[in-house]
Structure 1
Amino acid sequence: MSRLLEKPNIAVSITSTGSQLSSTVGIASSNSTTATEPGKETSTVEDEDERNALTSEAAVQMTSSAKTTVVRDKIDEVLISLIAGAAAGALAKTTIAPLDRTKINFQIRKDVPFSFRASLHYLKNTYSNEGVLALWRGNSATMARIVPYAAIQFTSHEQWRRILQVDRDGTDTKVRRFVAGSLAGITSQSLTYPLDLARARMAVTDKYTGYRTLRQVFAKIWVDEGPRTLYRGYWATVLGVIPYAGTSFFTYETLKREYHEMVGNTKPNTLVSLAFGAAAGAAGQTASYPLDIVRRRMQTIRVNTMANERCPTILETLMKIYREEGIKNGFYKGLSMNWIKGPIAVGISFSTYDLIKELLRELFHLKRGRLDR
C-alpha cells in the first residue's frame, strides 16, 4: 500500500515541477521581453537624434548656401557697376574730347575772351597745324583717368546710397540723395586726381613743345616740380566736385523718381535718360564752374605762358581771377561751352551706365542659371 501511494506523490511532484518550469519559462520569457524594451526605446531615441542632426546639418548647409548667394550677388553688383561705369565714362569723354580741350585752353588764359567764334577758330587752327587726331590730344590721359574715375564714381555712388539708405522703402530723402552723390565724387576724385592733372597738362600743350606721352608728364613733374605737384589744385577740385557730383546725381535721380511717379515706369527709355542726364549735367556744371576755373589755373600754372606769378592757394587764385577778369569773364569763362559739352557728356554717361548695367545683369543671371543647373 505504501508503495502504491508513493506513485501519485511522484506524479504530483512531476506535475508541480512542470508547472514550476512552465512558470519559470513564462517568467523568463516575460523578463526577456521586458529586458528588450529599453533597447527599443534607446534605438528610437538614437534615430530621432540622428534625424535632428541631419536636419540641423541641412539647415546649416542652407544657411551657408544663402550667405554664399548673398555674397555672390553683392560681388556681381559691384562688378556690374565697375564695368558699366567705366564704359559709360569712356564713351562720354571720348565723344566730347575736342570740346573739352577747347574749353580748357580758354579757361587758363586771361588774354583771349571766350566766344563760339573763337572756339571754332581754335579747333580749325588745331586741325590745320596738327591734324585731326590733335583734337583728341590728351584723350589717352583722359581715358587713363576717366575709366577708373567713372567706374569708382558709379560704384561708390551705389554703395553710398546703400549706406545712407537713400530713398529706402519709398521714402523721399533729398538731402541724403545729394550727399551720396557728393561722397561718390569725392571718393573717385581722390583716387584718380594725378591723372586729371596730367590730362590738363597735355590738353594745354602741343606734341612739339609739351609732353609727348602720359608717362612723360609724370616723369617731368616728378623730377622738375616734385611729387607734391601731382596733387596741386586737389582741394579746389574736391570743393568743386561736391556741388558738381552732388547736383548731377541729385538731379538725375530726382528726375527719374518724378518720372516714375508720373508714368509708373521705373526704367525710362534711352532718350528720356539722355534728357535727364543732360539736365543733370547742366545743373552740375553751373553749380561748380568757378571752382573748375580755379582748379585748371592751379593745375597748369607751370605750363601756362600767360601765368607770370604763382597762385599757390585757392583763395589767392580766386582773388586774382576776380581782380583781373571779373565774375562773368573770369569765374564763368567758357561756361556756354560747358552747357554744350556738359549735358552731352553727362547725358551719355548716365544713360549708357543704366543701359549697360541692365544688360550685364541679364548676362550675369543667365550665366548663373547655367552654373546652377
Structure 2
Amino acid sequence: MANHSSSSNKLEDLFSHVPNKATHNQNQFFVWREFLWGAMAGAFGEGMMHPVDTIKTRIQSQALLTGSQSQKSIVQMVQTVWVADGLKGFYRGIAPGIIGSLATGATYFGFIESTKKWIEESHPKLEGHWAHFIAGAIGDTLGSFVYVPCEVMKQRMQIQGTKKSWNTSIMTEKLQMKSSPQMYCYYTGMFQAGHSIWKEQGFKGLYAGYGSTIARDVPFAGLMVMFYEALKDLTEKGRQKWAPNFHVDGSFEGLVLGGLAGGFSAYLTTPLDVIKTRLQVQGSSTSYNGWLDAMTKIWKSEGVKGMFRGSIPRITWYIPASALTFMAVEFLRDHFNEKLDNDNVQEVTRLAIEKPESSFPKVA
C-alpha cells in the first residue's frame, strides 16, 4: 500500500506539471507563429494592392519630378500609367515591395503579441490601448531595417515605369535637377537597383528617408493596432449587449475592422508619408535637405493640399490592404493555431502517460 501510494503521488505530481509545461510551450510557439502569419499576411496585402500604391507614389512625386504645381488627378495618373506602360507599369517595384512587407508583417504581428503581453504584465498602468500602441510601434520599427531599403527601391522603380517611358518623360518634362540632368539610371530589377544605389550613394542612399519613414510608420503602426483592438473591444461589447448568441467569424471581423483601422491611420499620417516619399525618390538631387526642410518647403509652396497630396489613393490602398492583412492573420490563427495546439497537447499528454508507467515498482 505504501509503495502504491508513493507511486500515485508521483503520478499526480507529474501530471500537475504537465499543464504548465504545455502552456509554456504553446505560448512560446504561438509568438513564433505570429511572425510567420504576419509575414504571409503582409506579403498578401502588398501583392494585392501594389497597383494602387504605384498611383499614390506617382501622385506624391509629381511636384518633385516636373517642378510644376499643375498636378494630375487620380484618374489622369491611371490613364498616364496605362497609356505609357500598360499593366506592367502598375506592378513596377512589386518584388522589393513584397520582400519589405514580409519583414514588416513578421515583426509587426510577432512583436505585437510578445510586447503587448510583456507591457501588460510588467507595466500594468500601460495596459489597454497604450500597450497596443507601443507594441505596434516597436514591431514596425524593428521591421524598418529591411523595409526601408526595399521601399526606396520600390518607389524609384514605381515612378520610372518602363525604360522607354522613363527616358521619354525625362526629355519631354525636363526634370528640374541641380546636380545632374537625370536623377538616377533606369533600374531593370530589384538587385540591379540595390547595387546601383549602393554604388552611387552607399548606405545613405539605401536608407534615404529612414528618419521620415520612422516618423511616419511609428505613429501609423501604433495607431492602426490601437484602433483595431479598440474596434474589436467595442464590437465585442456591442455583441454581448445586443446579440449574445451571435457568433462573428474571426476572418470577417479582421476584414472589416482591419480596413477601418488602416483607413483612419493612413489619413492621419498622410503628411508624414508625403515627406518620406519626396525624400526617397529625389535621388542625388538636393531638392530637400532633410525632413524638416522638406516639410517647410512643401508647406510654403503647396500648403495643406500639398501635405495631404495622395491621401485618397493612400486611404484607398490601406483600407483593403489592412483589411486583407488582418483577415489573413485571423484566418491563419483560426485554422492553424487550433490544430497545432491540439497536436501539442496530445503529444505532451501521451508522453506524460507513458513516462509514469516505468516509475511503478515491479511486483514479483
Instruction: Tell me which interval the TM-score lies in, with the shorter structure as reference length.
Output: 0.7 to 0.9
1:216 Cα deviation after fit: 1.0
Which whole-Å CA distance do the structure 2 matches of 1:215 and 1:60 have between them? 58
Partner Cα separation in structure 1 for residue 16 and residue 72 of structure 2: 64
Corresponding position of 2:35 = 82
Match of 1:273 in 2: 254
Match of 2:153 in 1: 198
* 2:228 alignment partner in structure 1: 252
Alignment of 1:336 with 2:289, yes or no, is no
Bigger relative CO (Cα 8 Å, ≥ 6 apart): 2
- Pairing partner for 1:350 from 314, 317, 326: 326
Residue in structure 2 matched with residue 315 of structure 1 by the alignment: 292
Whether the 8 Å CA contact 2:209–2:279 is kept in 1: the answer is yes
Report how many residues are paired: 316
What residue in structure 1 maps to residue 52 of structure 2? 99
Once the two structures are TM-superposed, the CA of residue 68 in structure 1 deviates from its matched residue by 4.2
Kindly report which structure 2 residues correspond to 1:117-266, keeping only aligned pairs within 5 A, or say none: 117-125=75-83, 129-165=84-120, 173-208=128-163, 210-264=186-240
Contact between 1:81 and 1:155, CA under 8 Å: does it hold in 2? yes
Instruction: Render the CA deviation track for 1:259-287: whole Å, top value 9, x for unaligned.
Output: 11110379743444322122111111112
- 8 Å Cα contact 1:89-1:349 kept in structure 2: yes
- Structure 1 residues 163 and 267: CA distance shift in structure 2, 3 A: farther
Equivalent position SS for 1:165: helix
Provide the rounded CA distance (Å) in 2 between the counterparts of 1:158 and 1:336: 31
Contact 1:247–1:287 (CA under 8 A) maintained in structure 2: no
Q: How does 1:29-68 map to 2 (within 5 A)?
A: 65=18, 68=21
What amino acid maps onto 1:297 in structure 2?
R
Q: Distance in 2 between matches of 1:298 and 1:255?
A: 34
State the 1:189 CA deviation: 2.1
Contact 2:205 2:283 in 1 (8 A): no
In 2 relative to 1, CA 65–366 (structure 1 residues): closer, same or farther, beyond 3 Å?
A: closer
Q: Contact 2:224–2:265 at 8 Å: present in 1 too?
A: yes
Distance 2:248 2:137 in 1: 24
Contact 1:181 1:246 in 2 (8 A): yes
Q: Does 335-344 or 254-263 show the bigger shift?
A: 335-344
Separation in structure 1 between the aligned mates of residue 130 and residue 110 of structure 2, nearest angstrom: 20
C-alpha distance in structure 1 between counterparts of 2:74 and 2:197, whole Å: 33
Q: Deviations over 1:18-49 (max 9, x none)?
A: xxxxxxxxxxxxxxxxxxxxxxxxxx9xx88x
The 1:300–1:69 alpha-carbon spacing in structure 2 relative to 1, beyond 3 Å, is same
Shift of 1:252: 0.9
What is the rounded CA distance, in whole Å, between the counterparts of 1:63 and 1:370 in structure 2? 16
Q: Distance in 2 between matches of 1:369 and 1:285?
A: 41
Q: Which stretch of the first structure deviates more once superposed, 190-199 or 294-303?
A: 190-199
249-258 vs 59-68, greater mean Cα deviation:
59-68
Q: Give me the whole-angstrom Cα distance separating, in 2, the residues matched to 1:120 and 1:202.
A: 16
User: Could you say what secondary structure the match of 1:95 adopts?
Assistant: helix
Aligned to 2:76, what secondary structure does the other structure show? helix
Percent of residue pairs identical: 19
2:56, 2:149 → 1: CA distance?
Answer: 20
Q: Could you report, residue by residue, the CA deviation over 1:198-218 in whole angstroms, capped at 9, with x for unpaired residues?
A: 222221223426211211111
Q: Secondary structure at the match of 2:286?
A: coil
Q: Secondary structure at the match of 2:160?
A: coil
Instruction: Give the unaligned 5+ runs of structure 2.
Output: 167-185, 351-364
Distance change (3 Å), C-alpha of 1:370 and 1:180: closer
Is there any run of 5+ residues in structure 1 with no aligned partner, and where? Answer: 1-43
* Aligned alpha-carbon RMSD (Å): 3.0
Partner of 2:161, secondary structure, is: coil
TM-score (norm 2): 0.77
Partners of 2:99 and 2:150 within 8 A in 1: yes
Deviates more, 1:229-238 or 1:358-367: 358-367
Q: CA deviation at 1:138?
A: 0.8
Distance (whole Å) between structure 2 residues aligned to residue 59 and residue 194 of structure 1: 56
Q: Partner letter of residue 181 of structure 1?
A: G
Q: Are 1:69 and 2:22 counterparts? A: yes
CA offsets 1:73-105 (integer angstroms, 9 cap, x no match): 133212321222122112211111111011101
Preserved contact between residue 129 and residue 229 of structure 2 (Cα < 8 Å): no
Q: Secondary structure at the match of 2:187?
A: coil
Alpha-carbon distance in 1 for matches of 2:207, 2:320: 28
- Is 1:115 aligned to residue 73 of structure 2? yes
State the structure with more CA Rg.
Answer: 1
